Amino acid sequence: MKINCIAIEDEPLALKKIKEYIVQVDYLELLEGFNNAIDAVGYLKENTVDLIFLDVRMKKLSGIQFLEALQNKPKVIITSAYDEYALKGYELDVADYLLKPFTFDRFLKSVDKVYNQLMETNSSSSNGYIFVKTEHRIEKIVINDILFIQGMKDYLQIHTNDRKIMTLQTFKNLLEILPDNDFQRVHNSYIVSISKIENIERNRIRIGKNLIPISDSYKDKFYGILKERKILI
């Protein structure tokens, strides 16, 4: 399995070092390196990545601000010379925090951790089903039966062909498990199965009798993914 990654680092020498480390790991594929977070925001609107190496202290847009603004976060490894941001980073669910200067051994340990997490995620849905915790039991759900997922305060409601399952999960957790070639977030409160979409009109998706809004913050990415996959012509 290849992990597609980008690096965001405003210090040229530090960016060079990260790139050198990346090319030494056969399962890492460096797509792009950025010296500021703003350019990376634009790149991520058009491209999908698995992992971001992210500096914290940067001009214009800091690493923390960048993380807080990201929708559908990939795995993130923070690279920083300052340890005071570690707690905030973990609150934002980063995979690891590398304190500069870090050795290649420490770098490898960090990316191995991400690799193992992604392998577990891929294998969990490779059989075509997932298990989710409900209030009193664990339910098996066939992935192909899922129509869409709706956020309801602290819970998610998974709508399938024949039932609705409430679970205390986050959108992030489910998006990491579900196949990203079909399931996309289109609103703060909705994930849809692209294959189950019947039509789209006025930025509203129809799936069965349900009309699901596409919010402005997800619209460009959603339509971009349809075009990228050549299913919107």
Rounded to a whole number of angstroms, the CA Rg of the chain reads 19
Is the domain defined by 129-228 classed in CATH 2.40.50.1020? yes
What per-residue string of b and e applies to 25-53 under the rule 16 or more CB within 10 Å gives b? beebebeebbbbbeebeeebeeeebbbbb
Percent of the chain's residues with pLDDT above 70: 96
**Whole-number Å distance between alpha carbons of 117 and 27:** 14
Name the residue type at position 143. I
pLDDT in tens, 54-103: 999 888 888 888 888 887 678 999 998 888 777 777 777 888 999 999 99
Mean pLDDT, rounded, for 146-152: 95
pTM over 0.75: no
Q: pLDDT band for 166, please (50, 70, 90 cuts).
A: very high
pLDDT confidence of residue 151: 94
Give the CATH number of domain 3-124; options: 3.40.190.290, 3.40.50.2300, 1.10.3720.10, 3.30.300.30: 3.40.50.2300
pLDDT confidence of residue 47: 84
Dihedral sign computed on CA atoms, order 215, 221, 226, 232: positive
Domain chopping of the chain, boundaries = 3-124, 129-228
18 vs 64: which has the higher pLDDT? 18
192 vs 161: which has the higher pLDDT? 192
Mean pLDDT, rounded, for 107-128: 77
Residue 228 phi/psi, 5-degree rounding, is -60, -35
